[in-house]
Amino acid sequence: MTETASPSPFASTADPLACVPDSPLCFQDVSLRFGARTLLDSISFTLRPGETRILLGLAGMGKSVLLKLANGLIRPDSGEIFLFGQSIATMPEPALLNLRRRTGMIFQESALFDSLTVRDNVAWQLIERGISNEVIDRRVHRALSFVDLDDTFSLYPPSLSGGMRRRVSIARAIIDKPDLILYDSPTGGLDPVTSHTINELVIKERDAYKTPAILVTHRLQDAFTMVTHRFDHDANAMVPLPRGSFDPLTSFMVLHESHLLFDGSTDELLSSKDPFLKDFLA
């Protein structure tokens, strides 16, 4: 089928939840059950180009599952998921693989191969595609420099701290300049100082490349760091935005009891009257 023969999934409509034409990721009425439990019930949202969406929710609400749905690692029971404008809910695996390659995923547990060097972990996708060693080495050095870990090139993951492992997995996710980044709790289990470094890296990536992203976090403090800071390249550090202003391209979603309880800006979140949200934010 040619492109022009297929109807656009993004037909113009007044529906505020409809996907926009250049949306990197869009969920429409997505539901998923595990056994008797409906984990996600009719989830709809649209990520726009350049946007970062912070996904909050209590443990077990399905945040990691939502990220895996986003790149087709889990398939929904019903609804549509558009990744880079293509419907992936029932897309065959080989075609999906090509789209998944355009996404960078930072798994909740870093998911590095302990038996491979940092170089091979970071280069994993490029090695699979048969890219030359010389090009791979150059790109691994560049990705590791971005996360300030170039000196770990030849080391093995077990010799790294938890924070370093997380940074290596960020290097792996960004090495191929992804069109979408899915961060699953990148600061989970880390101490505040190390979390600061990871937050700074996420903000650096956001502000340097404007790659659309979904970021799951358990820590409200990290979420608010994301919206109240920008990356200053001259200082090579994140710096606070003027008091009371928030990054306009970073917004929030809250998943609660199978539903998307909230999807909106920082201002809207802070002024929400919803009793659960008020409690959650307090």
Ligand X SMILES: Nc1ncnc2c1ncn2[C@@H]1O[C@H](COP(=O)(O)OP(=O)(O)OP(=O)(O)O)[C@@H](O)[C@H]1O
Q: Is 225 in the site for Mg ion (CB under 5 A)?
A: no
Q: From the list 27, 43, 44, 62, which residue makes contact with ligand X (rule: CB under 6 A)?
A: 62
CA distance 137 to 142: 9
CB atoms within 10 A of CB 45: 20
Per the listing, tokens 């909050």 go with: 56
String of contacts with ligand X for each residue 199-238, x by CB under 6 A: -------------------x--------------------
Long-range contacts formed by 232-236: CB under 8 A, 24+ apart = 233/208
Choices 58-66, 114-122, 127-135, 207-215; region in contact with ligand X by CB under 6 A: 58-66
Which among 59-67, 114-122, 156-164, 256-264 is the span making contact with ligand X, rule CB under 6 A? 59-67
List the one residue from 1, 59, 235, 282 that touches ligand X (CB under 6 A). 59
User: Cβ closer to ligand X: 218 or 230?
Assistant: 218
* Ordered DSSP codes for 144-171: HHHTT-GGGTT--GGGS-HHHHHHHHHH
- Residue window 63-82: x/- pattern of binding to ligand X, with contact defined by CB under 6 A: xxx-----------------
**Residue ranges in 48-87 that form contacts with Mg ion under rule CB under 5 A:** 64
Residues 7-36 that bind ligand X (CB under 6 A): 34
Alpha-carbon distances of 245 from 60, 198, 235, rounded to whole Å: 32, 22, 20
Sequence-ordered alpha helix ranges (H) in the chain: 63-70, 93-100, 118-128, 133-146, 162-174, 192-209, 220-228, 266-270, 275-281
Where does this chain bind ligand X (CB under 6 A)? Answer: 34, 39, 57, 59-65, 108, 218
Where does this chain bind Mg ion (CB under 5 A)? Answer: 64, 108
